[in-house]
A and B are shown apart, each in its own frame.
Chain A
Amino acid sequence: EADIYQTPRYLVIGTGKKITLECSQTMGHDKMYWYQQDPGMELHLIHYSYGVNSTEKGDLSSESTVSRIRTEHFPLTLESARPSHTSQYLCASSRTGKIDNEQFFGPGTRLTVL
């Protein structure tokens, strides 16, 4: 089934740990995004990609990095997690074109850094 998937759904880790949040989509979308969102609050864009080997930083300063080696996969890595990184991380994807530009969101990863 065409969808966008994120793993893990929940993660509790200690300060200083390196983590990777996984995101995959099976819709063949060229664009992918990572957002940070506290519950019910604004969507803060932290990274986006227009296609394979294309990544850009978003509006929110972040200590994370991303890669886009395959169209369907857009992982987010935190080299050294801190309590300030505690939040929900939403991955999304969309298609460029004259029609069908809907952005689809994944279920999110809720990260807690102790």
Chain B
Amino acid sequence: GENVEQHPSTLSVQEGDSAVIKCTYSDSASNYFPWYKQELGKRPQLIIDIRSNVGEKKDQRIAVTLNKTAKHFSLHITETQPEDSAVYFCAASKGYSSASKIIFGSGTRLSIRP
């Protein structure tokens, strides 16, 4: 079955700097790669996703890149702000398959230093 590895487990960056979180997946048939942000005491919420037919996607200060050959994808946050402090989860799934479940990485706790 699918396995998703996420690194680093914790990340501290200076406000204004960039943050990068990396994930690898094992199932080459996975085609949907979402990223979730979980703020303290709240539920995880989708912030950006990418499908296997696209190599990069951007939404304001966040971007995700996908390398299908190497089976890894990354989240990039530029110009970090205090509100970016949260736990981030990557995930992978075969979205088109009725018998496929989404697999999450173990999470990255991002702290933004003022």
Q: Which residue of chain A lies nearest to B43 when distances are taken between CB atoms in the complex?
A: A105
- Describe A's contact surface by its main secondary structure: loop
Residues of B within 8 Å of A102, CB to CB, are: 34, 46, 49
Q: Report which B residues bind A (CB closer than 8 A).
A: 32, 34, 36, 38, 40-41, 43-46, 49, 87, 89, 91, 93, 95-102, 104, 106-107, 109
- Name the distance in Å between B85's Cβ and chain A's nearest Cβ: 11
User: A interface, how many residues as a size bin?
Assistant: 20 to 34
A101 to B109, CA, bound (A): 25
- Our count of residue pairs bridging A and B at CB distance below 8 angstroms stands at 58
* A56 vs B102: C-alpha distance when bound (angstroms): 13
User: Are A51 and B98 in touch, CB under 8 angstroms?
Assistant: yes
| Complex interface: chain A residues within 8 A of B102 (CB) | 33, 94, 101, 103
List residues of chain A with CB under 8 Å of any chain B CB.
Answer: 30-31, 33, 39-43, 45, 48, 50-51, 56, 90, 94, 96-98, 101-103, 105-108
Residues from chain B with a CB closer than 8 A to the CB of A41 are 107
A101 contacts B93, C-beta separation under 8 Å: yes
- Could you list 30 examples of A-B contacts with CB < 8 Å? A33-B101, A33-B102, A39-B40, A40-B40, A40-B87, A40-B107, A40-B109, A42-B104, A43-B104, A43-B107, A45-B101, A48-B101, A50-B98, A50-B99, A51-B98, A90-B43, A90-B44, A94-B102, A96-B95, A96-B98, A98-B95, A101-B49, A101-B93, A101-B95, A102-B49, A103-B36, A103-B91, A103-B102, A106-B43, A107-B43
Give A11 Cβ to nearest chain B Cβ, in Å: 17
Minimum CB distance partner of B95 in chain A: A101
Q: Does B101 lie within 8 Å of A96, measured CB to CB? A: no
Contact of B34 among A30, A40, A103 (CB under 8 A): A103
Q: Which residue of B lies closest to A43 (CB)?
A: B104
In the complex, how many angstroms separate the beta carbon of B4 from the nearest chain A beta carbon? 11
Q: How far is the CB of A77 from chain B (nearest CB, A)?
A: 21
Residues of B within 8 A of A56 (CB): 101
Query: Shortest distance in angstroms between B31's beta carbon and chain A's nearest beta carbon?
Result: 9
